[in-house]
Amino acid sequence: MAGHSKWNNIKRKKEKTDAQRAKIFTKIGREISVIVREGGPNPAENSKLKDVIAKAKANNVPNDNIERIIKKASGETGGATYENNIYEGYGPSGVAVIVETLTDNRNRTAGDMRHYFDKYGGNLGQSGCVSFMFSRQGVLLVESASIDEDKIMEQALEAGAIDFIAEDGVFDIRTQPSDFGAVRDALDVSFASAEIEYVPATYTTLTNDDDIKKMTKLLEMLEDNDDVQAVWHNWEEN
């Protein structure tokens, strides 16, 4: 069920307009820049950079863009200073939501987050109010067409994967965060998605049309915000 919902989300993202794809590219570019400044431009020595490059490629960011961002970031000494902040809260009918942000203005971002949650039937909570309902896992999604299931499953498990799910034309491979890079590098395939995520232990189903509309709008507003890098939730979307 989790894999099915996740794959539906991925497909919707791939169908976004050029303007929306450009926004995704910009957000990933910001993340790459921060990681390069913190740990250097060599992915062999900077594991976070290696991970975000894989994420960029899964989102179809061109290699030329990635290389240009790394080169620029490695030569920068000034510019905006970004910080990571995580916000937690509840959407309509108690849907748990975690929002990862990368911002150069904490007050602006916090105000935006509070406004979105309040406007669309939820409330922004304190740190830890919903994160206990999630676990951090590496999630690798591979479209299964023309790929031998037994072979890729064996490779993944030997490299340290903790779970392998074949569902809806997709292989959903789960890892511990510490083993994510090793499992990803062991698989010679293209990934539809490759990142460390907040995975919910249980899911919430919405049946009220108004709640569904509000939750959909809340997620749209969050994902459209330039400071938001990722949104995780336990809504079981149909």
Domain ranges of the chain: 2-75
- The answer as to CATH 3.40.640.10 being correct for domain 2-75 is no
**What six digits make up the tokens of 177?**
């965060």
Edge-first strand order for the sheet with 228-233 is: 123-124, 83-90, 96-103, 228-233
The alpha-helical segments, DSSP class H, found in 120-179 are 149-159
Torsions phi, psi of 90, nearest 5? -120, 135
- Please tell me the predicted confidence (pLDDT) of residue 1: 39
Judged on CB neighbours under 10 Å (0-12, 13-18, 19+), 38 is exposed
Torsions phi, psi of 112, nearest 5? -60, -45
CB 225 within 8 A of CB 93: no
**What six digits make up the tokens of 109?**
């971002």
What type of residue sits at position 47?
S
At 114, is the secondary structure helix, strand, or coil?
helix
> Residue 124: beta bridge partners?
89
**What six digits make up the tokens of 12?**
């919707």
- Please tell me the predicted confidence (pLDDT) of residue 4: 46
- Please tell me the predicted confidence (pLDDT) of residue 22: 83
| Gyration radius of the chain over CA positions | 18
Contacts of 145 (CB under 8 A, 6+ apart): 169
- What are the per-10-residue average pLDDT scores of the chain (238 residues)? 56 63 88 93 94 90 93 77 93 96 95 97 95 96 89 96 90 95 93 91 94 96 93 88
